[in-house]
Structure 1
Amino acid sequence: MAKRMLLAASVTAGLLLTGCGSKDEHSFKTDEGGEVKVATDGDGEAAVITTTAPDGSQSRIETGGSWPTALAAIAPAYPGAKLSTTMSGNRDGSDGAMAAFDTSDPPAKVIDFYKARSAAAGLTGTMNMESGETRMFTAADDKTGRTLSVQTSFQDGKTSAIVTGSTKKP
């Protein structure tokens, strides 16, 4: 636990040390043989944190970036949405990703979009939940191990959504 706290502190320090106005990169080695890389773009609006474990598994957190490739295979980016954060990683033969975004469209429209896309990708809906303006939809393909989850909430005239998915490597 202490090592994870040290790693988190190192990553935070790396983010704080990144300067505005130029591309900046920092790399940290862990005691266990892993590596953490932190990079920002020229205006400080985008940051990428990549961790590589000693076994080669990776995770990636990106702000101000693009739709994760691992997610695009089962759930494309929502049209016209403003992407805020993405995360992706791989481990034990599986790829996973998360994307968070905001849109002016209502939650039901976002959920319907991903229901249609998941069906087109061969996933079957496994859960549909509505509670006021909060909605959640999940789908899966048991044969391939692919999963999709979409959660939406509505506040201050905008819908915030989180889309997560996973795929297993063939």
Structure 2
Amino acid sequence: MRYAIYDTEGETDDMRTGYIALAMLALTACGGSDEQVFTGPDGEEVRIERGGDGTTTYSSTDGEATITTGEAGAAMPAGLPAYPGAETAGGLNINSTGRDGGSGQISSFQTSDSPADVIAFYRAALERGGYRIAANMDFGETHMISASRPDNSGGIQITATGAGGRGTTVSIIAGQEG
């Protein structure tokens, strides 16, 4: 999804998308009213609604994105189990749905287990769920696994990175076609 709140000559779409993403995250953390509406130069409206539960939803004709922070922000993509003993406080979950019905989610959490243990746990869970393992990589302190859905309509990438004796940070990116 791309939200264009303004258009600046000479900037690429990727640059504008990055600016918008930063603005979205900044607005998520700000105080203020529960709903705001921004209008772009083309007249398209982007509606921002903040809930009292740590959620902020951004809506336009292109689709919707909901950002959830705090403990509720560590929710897992559908069908994937939560990691045992993971610390969910401070989690971040970004769930988006495009007008074509596709969706995506980014979740993160911390654990005291090693990156290798995290990836082994999720490899077994993905295989039980019928996912096809596409890649399994070990970069020392960072381990990653990616898999596609059984019907090839999307996939998951899980990255676990050791934090130098402070546990492991895990990010899960999942997407599904509409």
Do they superpose with TM above 0.5? yes
Q: Which amino acid aligns with 2:48?
A: V
Is 1:109 the counterpart of 2:117 in the alignment? yes
RMSD over equivalenced CA pairs, Å: 2.5
**Which consecutive unaligned segments of at least 5 residues does structure 1 have?**
19-24, 42-46
Higher share in strand:
1
What SS does structure 2 have at the residue aligned with 1:12?
helix
For normalisation by structure 2, the TM-score amounts to 0.75
Q: Which amino acid aligns with 1:81?
A: A
**Which consecutive unaligned segments of at least 5 residues does structure 2 have?**
7-15
Give the match for residue 87 of structure 2. Answer: 82
Question: Identity over aligned residues, as a percent?
Answer: 25
Is 1:62 the counterpart of 2:65 in the alignment? no
Q: Tell me the alpha carbon deviations over residues 52-106 of structure 1, each in whole angstroms, 9 at most, x when there is no partner.
A: 1124x1111111115446x122x22111111221111111221211110000111
Cα 1:100–1:7, aligned 2, differ >3 Å: closer, same or farther?
closer
* Aligned counterpart in structure 2 of residue 150 of structure 1, from 153, 158, 166: 158
Deviates more, 1:109-118 or 1:142-151: 142-151
Deviation >4 Å, runs of 4+: 4-11
Distance in 2 (CA, whole Å) between partners of 1:51 and 1:122 is: 33
What SS does structure 2 have at the residue aligned with 1:34?
strand
Give the match for residue 12 of structure 2. Answer: none
Give the match for residue 30 of structure 1. Answer: 38
Contact 1:68 1:97 (C-alpha < 8 Å) held by counterparts: no
What SS does structure 2 have at the residue aligned with 1:150?
strand
Distance in 2 (CA, whole Å) between partners of 1:161 and 1:14 is: 22
For normalisation by structure 1, the TM-score amounts to 0.78
* Aligned counterpart in structure 2 of residue 52 of structure 1, from 43, 55, 59: 59
What SS does structure 2 have at the residue aligned with 1:114?
helix
Is 1:121 the counterpart of 2:133 in the alignment? no
Cα 1:157–1:146, aligned 2, differ >3 Å: closer, same or farther?
same
